[in-house]
């Protein structure tokens, strides 16, 4: 960050850009092989994302959860940890924020909204702390524990809104009786909803501003503070950081709590700004997308912001692409997967495009093994 | 490590639970216990049958994981390999609907194996040749399989027929045991035999010794002339095939059709079973049985009208148990030492 130069900027953008380009090309080949028209598909995709005010609005709406889960995975990477648990932390953030959003009724929005978002952050933070604490105290690898915690969170969240069964099963504590057999929470009260920047039909809410501020906060935290320095040192050289007197255990727990907090915030913002309630099917692939975003952004907060914007545009344009060209929007997940592969293995990109590895170039992805 | 075949504590616990389950099942079903008794619900033949059916894909997934990880390649992509196998098996079955049933189904199995092998090979190629982080490569497989199968799947396609049970002569007449184990469709038998074969192969053959050496101490293996990366390629591809078979089981033996995302997290529970079973085939089978039983019991409780335990909490069990196991609360599980590390021969760039 300090010694900024155009050449370095170009270097750091080269691999992600080539990864995106290659993924789009391979995606086109797959579409062509399957008998679809890739040109029409990409045209529809682009128009869906940027061809109209509504397209832009959808892109921006989908930007914040991707941005925050991307930051969540990225900050863990910075500390040498692999957070596959963003989706579970997102889920816990959602449940905590929805609980505050439906249970406090006499509260002005100026207090209620921040309180509900904070609750979501807390939910994610606590859920993120578990794998951190387990890793430090018992050595349990965070990849295994976060995958398991994702399922536990999803089942727990599912239980809270469970509508009960026909044989007299007890419904969950957050279930909305007005929804009858549907498992979902009641809508959060008006005072807990994040206000719109642009109201319906655009439905762009102020959560995106919060997400963008978070980029700067994270960049400051990672690159300008002692905590950030310790975090990166632990990530780059675990042993050396021990000898340097860094409290490694605490740093690991802190990194996981931060990662959890960011994913929890994503859940809160999505709930209070877009969905206004929780149902078990919400959340989807948000955790895995966060991994792609973080790597595409080379774990740099600003890079993550850009990568998230790009992936949000893909997600936003999918519906129009399917409508215009008849190409199933499921192809976007294929393209996401290919981007992940190409950006995570710069060797493939270097191999295809015959790029030499710069000597000063640091690996952006950590090397991880179960043993730890 | 005193002896390679010595079962570690957790794998013994896992296997013990499975054996206790069978013994209790036999006793309960032979005693004149009334049909509405809780014992009958928890250990009845139908519950245990359901348990076995839920266990098979988990056991196959765990064997796939063991094959890869024993040579040092982390495989969190089992879920994706399974899904690819399921889809390929389905498409092959649909394409040959006009054939007689058995050849058509076997063609489906072949396609599932092939698709799984392809996924395994991609995983090995990315991990070894392109030095991609193995966990990211696994994540890629999961996303790719999920995306591709959803993109290509045409809901109008219908597979006609699936494997039906084959009663083993004599053995199937044994009370209880015969009903549970010896009256099953072919992939179920294959899976159970595979566990034993893999155990023998891993711990009593040259191939197994070399595979484990590649995963425990690749440098030493290399020194005595073992081609570490060859074993990693081979076993990861074989592992992919076994995971593909698990997908084939779901389509060709259990459900009969393909559904988007039909593996529904089974690949991750397989991963959990492998870990809880301490990377041992029989340990993993025991863990898979325990996890399969949580599904069987849920089903049985629901049918019996027992509703005061929310099913969500029963479903959590496999995941909680796995966390407890990796956290070392029941005797530590230990992964192969060189797992996740790229192996480069002396004199190359590292």
Task: Going residue by residue through chain A, which has 372 residues, state the pLDDT in tens, using 9 for 90 and above.
Answer: 445 677 777 777 888 899 999 999 999 999 999 999 999 999 999 999 999 999 999 999 999 999 999 999 999 999 999 999 999 999 999 999 999 999 988 889 899 999 999 999 999 999 999 999 999 998 888 888 998 899 999 999 999 998 877 777 788 888 888 888 888 899 999 898 999 998 888 889 999 999 999 999 999 999 999 999 999 999 888 778 888 888 899 999 999 999 999 999 999 999 999 989 998 877 667 888 999 999 999 899 999 999 999 999 999 999 889 998 989 989 999 999 999 999 988 778 777 787 776 554 555 555 555 543
Q: Is B164 exposed, middle or buried (0-12, 13-18, 19+ CB in 10 A)?
A: exposed
pLDDT score of B3 more than 60: no
Alpha-carbon dihedral sign for residues A252, A257, A263, A269: negative
pLDDT score of B98 more than 70: yes
Structure tokens at A93: 């953030």
Alpha-carbon dihedral sign for residues B38, B42, B46, B47: positive
φ, ψ (nearest 5 deg) of residue B167? -80, 130
Tell me, yes or no, if A5 comes closer than 8 A to chain B by beta carbon: no
Tell me, yes or no, if B310 comes closer than 8 A to chain A by beta carbon: yes
CB A105 within 8 A of CB A59: no
Closest partner residue to B74 among A159, A333, A369, by Cβ?
Answer: A369
Buried b (16+ CB within 10 A) or exposed e, B45-72: bebbbbbbbbbbbbbbbbbbbbbbbbbb
| Residues contacting residue B45 through CB under 8 Å, at least 6 positions apart | B25, B29, B176, B179, B180
pLDDT score of B11 more than 80: no
Within 10 A of A279 (CB to CB), how many other CB atoms are there?
16
Q: What residues are paired with B184 via a beta bridge?
A: B166
Q: Count the helices and strands in chain A (H runs, E runs).
A: 14, 2
CB A185 within 8 A of CB A277: yes
pLDDT band of B25, cuts 50, 70, 90: confident
- Cβ-Cβ contacts under 8 Å, A144 against chain B: 271-272, 275, 322-323, 326
- Cβ-Cβ contacts under 8 Å, B131 against chain A: 345, 347
Q: What is the pLDDT of residue B55?
A: 95
Tell me, yes or no, if B275 comes closer than 8 A to chain A by beta carbon: yes
Q: What is the pLDDT of residue A116?
A: 95
* A338/B144 Cβ within 8 A: yes
CA A108 to chain centre: 30
Structure tokens at A180: 């009858």
In a domain, B304, yes or no: no
pLDDT band of B304, cuts 50, 70, 90: confident
In a domain, B265, yes or no: yes
* B151/A367 Cβ within 8 A: no
Q: What is the pLDDT of residue A220?
A: 96
Polymer length in residues for chain A: 372
Q: How many CA atoms are closer than 13 Å to the CA of A287, on its beta-carbon side?
A: 31
- B335 by DSSP, 3-state: which? coil
Distances (CA, A) of A106 to A86, A110, A121: 32, 12, 22
Structure tokens at A16: 């992600």
Which residues of A, range 84-113, sit inside 8 Å of B by Cβ?
Answer: 84
* B315/A155 Cβ within 8 A: yes
- Average pLDDT of span B124-145: 92
- Cβ-Cβ contacts under 8 Å, B151 against chain A: 30, 34, 328, 330-331, 333-334
- Average pLDDT of span B138-145: 94
Structure tokens at A361: 């170039």
Q: What is the pLDDT of residue A357?
A: 66
Among B124, B156, B314, smallest CA distance to B232 is for: B124
Closest residue in A to B311 (Cα–Cα): A159
Q: Which domain holds residue B252?
A: 53-288
Distance CA B339, CA B185 (A): 35
φ, ψ (nearest 5 deg) of residue A141? -70, 135
* B147/A369 Cβ within 8 A: no
Among B50, B317, B125, B148, smallest CA distance to A30 is for: B148
Closest partner residue to B143 among A84, A148, A288, by Cβ?
Answer: A288
- Average pLDDT of span B220-245: 94
Tell me, yes or no, if A365 comes closer than 8 A to chain B by beta carbon: yes
Closest partner residue to A336 among B76, B143, B302, by Cβ?
Answer: B143
Tell me, yes or no, if B342 comes closer than 8 A to chain A by beta carbon: yes
Distance CA A269, CA A275 (A): 9
- Average pLDDT of span B174-196: 90
- Average pLDDT of span B159-182: 88
Tell me how far apart the terminal alpha carbons of chain B are, to the nearest angstrom: 29
* A162/B310 Cβ within 8 A: yes
- Cβ-Cβ contacts under 8 Å, B327 against chain A: 134, 138, 140, 145
Distance CA B141, CA B125 (A): 12
Among A40, A104, A18, A50, smallest CA distance to A313 is for: A50
Closest residue in B to A135 (Cα–Cα): B327
Among B232, B221, B270, B209, smallest CA distance to B85 is for: B270
Distances (CA, A) of A6 to A10, A18, A97, A199, A256: 6, 18, 43, 40, 33
CB A63 within 8 A of CB A208: yes
Q: Count the helices and strands in chain B (H runs, E runs).
A: 14, 2
User: Which residue did the predictor score with more confidence, B11 or A66?
Assistant: A66
In a domain, B195, yes or no: yes
Tell me, yes or no, if A333 comes closer than 8 A to chain B by beta carbon: yes
∠ CA A167-B263-B104, nearest 5°, is 110
Distance CA B57, CA B273 (A): 11
The structural domain count of chain B equals 1
CB A177 within 8 A of CB A165: no
Distance from CA of A192 to the nearest CA of B (A): 29
Within 10 A of A120 (CB to CB), how many other CB atoms are there?
33
Q: Which helix (H) or strand (E) holds B333?
A: none
- Cβ-Cβ contacts under 8 Å, A328 against chain B: 150-151
In a domain, B312, yes or no: no
* A82/B319 Cβ within 8 A: no
CB B87 within 8 A of CB B152: yes
Structure tokens at B130: 């392109």
In a domain, B174, yes or no: yes
Q: What is the pLDDT of residue A2?
A: 47
CB A96 within 8 A of CB A123: yes
pLDDT score of B348 more than 50: no
> What value of ipTM does the predicted structure carry?
0.88
Q: Is B217 exposed, middle or buried (0-12, 13-18, 19+ CB in 10 A)?
A: middle
| Cis peptide preceding A201, ω within 30 of 0 | yes
What percent of the residues of chain A are helix, what percent strand, and what percent coil, each to the nearest 5? 70, 0, 30
| Residues contacting residue B192 through CB under 8 Å, at least 6 positions apart | B59, B181, B285
CB A263 within 8 A of CB A62: no
Q: Which helix (H) or strand (E) holds A163?
A: none
Q: What is the pLDDT of residue B2?
A: 38
∠ CA A188-A192-A197, nearest 5°, is 115
∠ CA B117-A28-A345, nearest 5°, is 55
Question: Largest alpha-carbon pair distance within chain B?
Answer: 72
- Average pLDDT of span B109-128: 96
Q: Which residue has the tokens 């009724």?
A: A105
Q: Is A4 exposed, middle or buried (0-12, 13-18, 19+ CB in 10 A)?
A: exposed
- Cβ-Cβ contacts under 8 Å, B339 against chain A: 369-371
Distance from CA of B346 to the nearest CA of A (A): 20
* A151/B316 Cβ within 8 A: yes
φ, ψ (nearest 5 deg) of residue B7? -75, 135
In a domain, B301, yes or no: no
Distance CA A151, CA A8 (A): 41
* A331/B76 Cβ within 8 A: no
In a domain, B117, yes or no: yes
**Torsion angle, alpha carbons of A278, A280, A284, A290, to 10:** 60
Distance from CA of B192 to the nearest CA of A (A): 26
Q: At what angle do helices B266-276 and B281-303 cross, to 10 degrees?
A: 130
């Amino acid at each position: 960050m300090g010694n900024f130069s155009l050449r370095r900027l170009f270097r750091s953008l080269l691999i992600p850009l080539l990864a995106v380009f290659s993924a789009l090309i391979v995606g086109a080949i797959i579409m062509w092989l399957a008998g679809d028209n890739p040109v029409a598909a990409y045209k529809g995709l682009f128009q869906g994302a940027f061809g109209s005010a509504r397209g832009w609005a959808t892109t921006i709406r989908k930007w914040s959860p991707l941005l925050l889960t991307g930051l969540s995975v990225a900050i863990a990477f910075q500390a040498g940890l692999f957070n596959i648990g963003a989706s579970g932390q997102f889920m816990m953030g959602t449940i905590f924020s929805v609980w505050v959003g439906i249970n406090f009724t006499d509260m002005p929005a100026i207090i209620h909204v921040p309180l509900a978002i904070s609750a979501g952050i807390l939910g994610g933070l606590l859920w993120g702390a578990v794998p951190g604490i387990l890793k430090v105290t018992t050595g349990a690898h965070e990849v295994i524990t976060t995958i398991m915690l994702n399922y536990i969170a999803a089942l727990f969240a599912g239980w809270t809104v469970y509508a009960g069964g026909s044989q007299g099963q007890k419904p969950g504590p957050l279930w909305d009786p007005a929804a009858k057999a549907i498992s979902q929470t009641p809508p959060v009260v008006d005072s807990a909803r994040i206000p719109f920047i642009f109201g319906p039909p655009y439905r762009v809410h102020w959560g995106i501003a919060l997400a963008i501020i978070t980029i700067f906060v994270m960049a400051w935290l990672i690159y300008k503070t002692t905590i950030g320095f310790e975090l990166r040192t632990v990530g780059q050289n675990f042993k050396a950081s021990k000898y340097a007197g860094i409290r490694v255990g605490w740093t690991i727990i802190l990194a996981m709590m931060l990662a959890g907090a960011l994913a929890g915030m994503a859940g809160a913002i999505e709930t209070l700004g877009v969905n206004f309630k929780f149902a078990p099917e919400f959340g989807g692939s948000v955790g895995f997308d966060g991994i792609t975003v973080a790597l595409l952004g080379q774990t740099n907060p600003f890079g993550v912001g850009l990568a998230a914007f790009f992936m949000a545009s893909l997600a936003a344009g999918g519906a129009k692409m399917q409508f215009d060209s008849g190409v199933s929007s499921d192809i976007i997940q294929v393209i996401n997967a290919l981007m992940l592969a190409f950006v995570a293995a710069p060797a493939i990109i270097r191999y295809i495009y015959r790029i030499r590895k710069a000597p000063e170039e640091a690996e952006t992805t950590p090397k991880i093994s179960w043993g730890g | 490590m005193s002896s390679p075949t010595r079962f570690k504590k957790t794998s013994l616990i896992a296997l013990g639970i499975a054996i206790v389950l069978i013994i209790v099942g036999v006793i309960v079903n032979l005693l004149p216990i009334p049909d509405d008794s809780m014992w009958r619900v928890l250990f009845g033949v139908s519950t245990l049958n359901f348990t076995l059916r839920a266990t098979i894909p988990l056991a196959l997934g765990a064997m796939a994981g063991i094959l890869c990880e024993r040579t040092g390649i982390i495989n969190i992509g089992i879920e994706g390999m399974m899904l690819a196998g399921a889809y390929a098996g389905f498409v092959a079955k649909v394409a040959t609907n006009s054939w007689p049933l058995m050849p058509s189904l076997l063609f489906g199995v072949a396609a599932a194996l092939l698709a799984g092998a392809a996924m395994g090979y991609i995983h090995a190629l990315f991990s070894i040749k392109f030095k991609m982080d193995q966990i990211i490569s696994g994540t890629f497989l999961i996303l790719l399989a999920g995306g591709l199968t959803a993109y290509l799947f045409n809901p109008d396609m219908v597979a006609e027929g699936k494997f039906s049970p084959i009663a083993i002569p004599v053995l199937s007449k044994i009370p209880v045991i015969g009903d549970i184990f010896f009256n099953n469709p072919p992939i179920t038998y294959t899976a159970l035999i595979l566990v034993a074969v893999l155990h023998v192969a891993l711990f009593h053959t040259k191939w197994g010794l070399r595979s484990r050496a590649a995963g425990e101490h690749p440098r030493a293996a290399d020194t005595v002339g073992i081609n570490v990366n060859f074993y990693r390629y081979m076993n990861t591809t074989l592992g992919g095939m076994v995971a593909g078979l698990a997908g084939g089981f779901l389509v060709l033996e259990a459900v009969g059709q393909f559904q988007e995302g039909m593996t529904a997290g089974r690949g991750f529970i397989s991963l959990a079973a492998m870990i809880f079973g301490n990377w041992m085939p029989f340990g993993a089978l025991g863990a898979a049985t325990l996890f399969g039983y949580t599904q069987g019991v849920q089903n049985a409780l629901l049918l019996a009208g027992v509703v005061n335990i929310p099913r969500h909490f029963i479903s959590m069990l496999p995941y909680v148990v796995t966390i407890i196991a990796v956290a070392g609360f029941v005797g530590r599980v230990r992964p192969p030492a060189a797992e996740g590390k790229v192996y480069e021969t002396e004199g190359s760039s590292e």
